[in-house]
Every structure is written in structure tokens, then in C-alpha cells.
Amino acid sequence: MRVAKFVIPLLIVIALAVVINAYVAQIPNSPATNKNSISQAHSAEPDKDIRIRNKLAELLSGAGVHVGKALPVPDNDTYKELRVHWQSSGVPTQTSSANLLRSSTSGVLTALTSKNKNGALPRDRSFELSTNQILVVGLDRNAELRWWRLLLDPRLVRSETPAATGELSGEEYYLTNVDFVINYPDDPEIRELRLYRPLWSGKNFQLELVSTLATE
């Protein structure tokens, strides 16, 4: 009887402890859960920056661009808005518009206007290349990377036409003439902007220089 008196209360205490622990673990906003989530987010951020830095260094090394040990993080509260005109080379397609190309070609880029703007530029958190993008990099006088940004090719348009079955069929074209804007940090160290077109070799991406624009 004495053993039963001690065993039963002990079992009750153990059962209560198990229930309490299970309840606390299920609370989504508990301090422990939030602390672990914040800690994981902070630890993942440097790893992502390192991966982006390594990809940029690998791609740009052949172009004579130096990427530092860490990616530059602009903290300016102003930026520059550069308006650019792109005159593509190539022969337009035989379509309803004489201003379209079937494939991306090179051409001539001309800086039109530059304006100072207030505000901070968003920071790119990923680096996923595709052939319909343009990589823009800001370099200093020593060709060291000061800033980068992936832009959708401003010439790209998509045309959808109905097939004989009534289903829509989409095709991509490129405008022969287009004006677009590049927003980059108001950093006095940035002396030029280089625009590259990613090309897929079947195994990896390689960069083709489209144009270099002076910022001064």
C-alpha cells in the first residue's frame, strides 16, 4: 500500500509534465519558437550572400571584373535614374509589326538622361539567371564590383495568336527600338555600368557584353 501511495502521485506528475511540454511545443508564437526562427533566418542570410558572390565572381572573372570577398551593400538614401535608348541590330520579322525581332541581338545603347532621386533601392536576394534577362553591374575605376542587378530584357514582348484548334500559341519577340530606365546607387565610386546578356551553353551560363555606359 505504501508503494502504491508513492507511485500513483509520481505517475500523475509525469503525465502532467508530458501534457505541458506538448502544449508549449504546439504554440506557434512562443518565445522559443520565434527565437529559433529568427536565429535560422540570420544564419541563412550570410550563406545566401556568399553563394551569390561566388556566382558573380565566377561569371565576371573572365570579363576582367573583380568581385571582393563580400558583396557591396549600398546604404544610400538617394539613387540615380539613367534613361537609356536601345537600338537593336538585325532584320525585323515578316509580321504585322516591322519593329520586332525573333531573336535577341546586339545593338547600340545610348544614355539619354540622368536624374538624382530620393529613396533607397531594393536589394536583390537571389541570383537566378535566364536568357531573357540582362545583368547590369556598376564598377569603379579599377573594374571592381560596386553594385549589380538582374533586369528583364526591356526589348522582350510576347505575342499570343490563336491556332487552328482555337488554342492560344505564344511567341517571344524583341523590339528593335526601346527606351528603358536603370536605377543604380548614388555612389561616386561607380564610374561605369556594364550590361551583359546571359547565354546558355548547354552546361552553364556565359556572359556576352552588350554595352558599357559611362556614369560621369
Q: What is the 3-state secondary structure (H, E, C) of 90-139?
A: CCCCCCCCCCEECCCCCEEEEEEEEEEEECCCCCCCCCCCCCCEEEEEEE
pTM above threshold 0.95: no
Nearest-angstrom CA–CA distance, 139 and 107: 22
pLDDT at 44: 55
**What is the per-residue pLDDT for 21?**
52
Which pLDDT score is estimated for 98?
A: 63
| pLDDT by position in tens, the chain (length 216) | 454 454 444 444 444 454 445 444 444 454 444 545 444 444 556 788 899 999 999 999 999 999 999 888 888 899 999 999 999 876 666 654 668 887 777 789 999 999 999 999 988 888 999 999 999 999 999 999 999 999 999 999 987 777 677 777 678 889 999 999 999 999 999 999 999 999 999 999 999 999 999 997
What pLDDT, on the 0 to 100 scale, is given for residue 105? Answer: 78
Name the H helices within the chain.
2-26, 31-60
Sheet strand arrangement including 100-101: 100-101, 168-175, 156-162
Distance of CA 166 to the CA centre of its chain: 37
The answer to whether 27 and 105 have CB atoms below 8 angstroms apart is no
Query: In this structure, are residues 124 and 199 in contact, taking their beta carbons and an 8 Å threshold?
Result: no
Report the distance separating Cα 142 and Cα 138, nearest Å.
11
User: pLDDT tens digit string along 136-191?
Assistant: 999 999 999 999 999 999 999 987 777 677 777 678 889 999 999 999 999 999 99
Query: Can you state the percent helix, strand and coil of the chain, rounding each to 5?
Result: 25, 40, 35
Would you mind telling me the total number of residues written for the chain in this entry? Answer: 216
How far is it, in rounded angstroms, from Cα 213 to Cα 191? 9
d(CA 84, CA 69): 31
